[in-house]
Structure 1
């Protein structure tokens, strides 16, 4: 249908992550990480990363997010600043501003905010 650079990022599985915040965990505060991170639970606060972030299908994140690449399958309330790409799948929802080189919104996804694409 369409081609996205680094499409391997969008085919991620649980085994690809060193750290996963499980679906039964509710975290409040600041999360900082350097290796790929997956959220399946609830996060309220801020996320600062030099790596990739996946907000999985049933995850709920209320945070300001800064990361290399961000894949949203769940719900994000807050601004996302990604160095390379923000990809919101059909099951994903973002309520907040997005700043990134590349932004992909799959048909069926929800986005409410301002989008700024920084270019190549």
Structure 2
């Protein structure tokens, strides 16, 4: 197989996050954060972050996203811009454009959009 660097946040459990949007919460608006954040519920709006974002398996996000690294296990409808990495796991789905230095689409993931891979600085 292959190894993806910068994936240490894949091993984080829910307890490792300062903030979690729980599965029974529906949020509409803008989210800004500077520490790792996990979405397990439903979100509609925009996300602008300087840290990592994990969209859990049952999460449904309709938002344009700017973050450091983004792990998608659930469904995202909107554009994703990440400084480091966008990783869409098997079972995850992105309907929108992805712009990042590194992009990984696992077998079994769904992606519909354009992908722009930036050169590292």
Structure 1: unaligned runs, 5 residues or longer: none
Q: Which runs of 4+ in 1 moved over 2 A?
A: none
Q: Deviations over 1:39-58 (max 9, x none)?
A: 00000000000000000000
**How many residue pairs get matched?**
120
Where does residue 41 of structure 1 map in the other structure?
Answer: 41
Residues 45 and 63 of structure 2 are in contact (CA less than 8 Å); yes or no, is this contact kept in structure 1? yes
Q: TM (normalized to structure 2)?
A: 0.97
Where does residue 59 of structure 2 map in the other structure?
Answer: 59
SS in structure 2 of the partner of residue 10 of structure 1: helix
Taking only aligned residues, the RMSD between alpha carbons, in angstroms, comes to: 0.6
Q: TM (normalized to structure 1)?
A: 0.98
Q: Deviations over 1:46-102 (max 9, x none)?
A: 000000000000000000000000000000000000000000000100000000000
Alpha-carbon shift at residue 16 of structure 1 (Å)? 1.5
Residues 58 and 74 of structure 2 are in contact (CA less than 8 Å); yes or no, is this contact kept in structure 1? yes
